[in-house]
Amino acid sequence: MTQIYLYIIVAFIIGFILAWIIRTIAMEKIKKVLKSTQGYLESETLKKETLQKENLQVYQMKQIVEIESVKKLLKAQEINKLQDSDILLLQKSNEETEALLEQGLPAMHTLKMQLIEANNTIARFKAQQQLTKK
């Protein structure tokens, strides 16, 4: 009877040791998976932060481009207004010049045409100077 108790105790101890070994191996596997998962999560967090920074930079660049575009648009609108007023002045000047010819003042008409041509030459020269400065 003592042998049976001895076998039962030995079997219990061997079973306990085997269970302990199996549990330890399972715990090590779980720790490895947990460590791997934590590394993956940290990597994803870093990627997310990087993407957020890049998105912020892209948004700032977009705002800068929009501001520059608005400035260019306003400048173009100013130029258009100036050109419109110049066109109106030219039309008025042309009408006045034609009126001089109709009134029978060809000498005044000729002088005015020469003045217009001189102003055009000056404007072309100024435009060329501005292009060479750029």
Check residue 134 and give its pLDDT.
60
Same domain, residue pair 67 and 17: yes
Same domain, residue pair 49 and 109: no
Owning domain of residue 115? 104-134
Q: Diameter of the chain by CA atoms?
A: 151
d(CA 96, CA 26): 103
Looking at the structure of the chain, the number of domains it has is 2
| Cα angle 73, 89, 116; round to 5 | 115
Residue 102 near residue 93 (C-beta atoms within 8 A): no
Give Cα 71 to chain centroid, integer Å.
16
Same domain, residue pair 24 and 6: yes
Residue 67 near residue 60 (C-beta atoms within 8 A): no
Identify which of 30, 12, 32, 8 has the alpha carbon closest to the alpha carbon of residue 20. 12
Per-residue pLDDT of the chain (134 residues; tens, 9 = 90+): 788 989 999 999 999 999 999 999 999 999 999 999 999 999 999 999 999 999 999 999 999 999 999 999 999 999 899 888 878 887 887 787 777 777 777 777 777 778 888 888 888 888 788 777 76
- pTM metric for this prediction: 0.51
d(CA 4, CA 1): 5
Same domain, residue pair 31 and 68: yes
Structure tokens at 54: 């890049």
Same domain, residue pair 110 and 134: yes
